[in-house]
Amino acid sequence: MSPLIRIGIAGACGRMGRAIASVVDEHPDVVLGAVWEHPQHSQVGQRYHADSERVVAGGPDGLESDVDVVIDFTSPSATVAHARWASAHGVAMIVGTTGLEPEHQQILDAAVQHIALVQAPNMSVGVNVLCQLVAEATRMLASDYDIEILEAHHRHKVDAPSGTAMRLLDVIQDTQQDLSPRFERHGVIGAREDNEIGIQTLRGGDVVGEHTVLFLGHGERVELTHRATDRSIFARGAVRAALWVSSQSSGRYTMANVLSD
């Protein structure tokens, strides 16, 4: 029998961290190896939960012997610090953090010279199917239809547009390269440009995540939508990616690679 894959969770006490831990606890092929938070977090030094033997660490230092893959849904600054740590210790990595800037991506580029890393702004299997459907619809419709992207998230989300909306934009532009994004409309803006993609952001309540790509034609429109109602879909996708990446050679991978096997 293959050994269990030991999962380390960065930002373990947050909403996504807890969701990932729940999936790990129920999965037959993985085990919780270590959990950590930033050093000033109130739960550092305490048991992760009442039934757990794991203590929340104030960072990953010293935990490398307990971890095969680290799952990170934290912040850009924390993610790049974890990438440096993982690279130094040969620990594979799953990155679901959004809002990464080019300088953060450069650090991940350096890390994947030494470790296998799966990066995706959305680990949901359904969202990654949506990306493939959007690419196909763009090929078939873009020349005669206007394209708009609409995304909605809970009131606490700090980056906009969402990483998934930006991924959908990339998919569309990879397929139809003369299209350009427009992130804001206000006032007398004139008629819509032919090569424009509008990207609209909604924030409020407890919306887990909704993304719609609209293809608007004369007399009809096509809408492709994914609605998340439970964070566990992202956690399940991340654990699936962790199982897959544990046997891969160094390099940067996406959920498309994970789902193709």
Per-residue pLDDT at 56: 95
Per-residue pLDDT at 125: 87
Asked whether the beta carbons of 112 and 252 are under 8 A apart, the reply is yes
**pTM, whole model, 2 decimals?**
0.79
Q: Identify the active-site residue in 27, 41, 82, 153.
A: 153
Q: Identify the active-site residue in 49, 89, 114, 157.
A: 157
- Higher-confidence residue of 49 and 109: namely 109
- Give the torsion through C-alpha atoms of 109, 23, 30, 132, to 10 deg: -50
Cβ-proximal residues to 58 (8 Å cutoff; 6+ apart), any chain: 36, 37, 38, 39, 40, 41, 44, 45
The superfamily (CATH) of domain 125-228 is: Dihydrodipicolinate Reductase; domain 2 (3.30.360.10)
Cβ-proximal residues to 191 (8 Å cutoff; 6+ apart), any chain: none
Look up 226 and say whether it is catalytic.
no
Pair of tokens at residue 29: 């092929």
DSSP 8-state assignment for residue 46: S
Mean confidence (pLDDT) of the chain: 93
Q: Which residue has the tokens 């660490």?
A: 57
Q: Which residue, among 10, 13, 11, 5, has the nearest Cα to 48 in the 3D structure?
A: 13
| Confidence band for 218, pLDDT divided at 50, 70 and 90 | very high
Domain coordinates in residue numbering, the chain: 5-123+231-260, 125-228
Q: In what order do the strands lie in the sheet with 69-72?
A: 30-36, 5-10, 69-72, 92-95, 116-119, 251-253
Which one is the CATH code of 5-123+231-260: 3.40.30.10, 3.30.420.310, 3.40.50.720, 3.30.300.30?
3.40.50.720
Per-residue pLDDT at 199: 96
3-state DSSP assignment of residue 55: strand
The mean pLDDT value for 134-144 works out to 94
Is the model's pLDDT at 51 over the cut of 80? no
DSSP 8-state assignment for residue 122: -
Question: Which range is least confidently modeled, 51-55, 75-79, 87-91, 130-134?
Answer: 51-55
Look up 157 and say whether it is catalytic.
yes
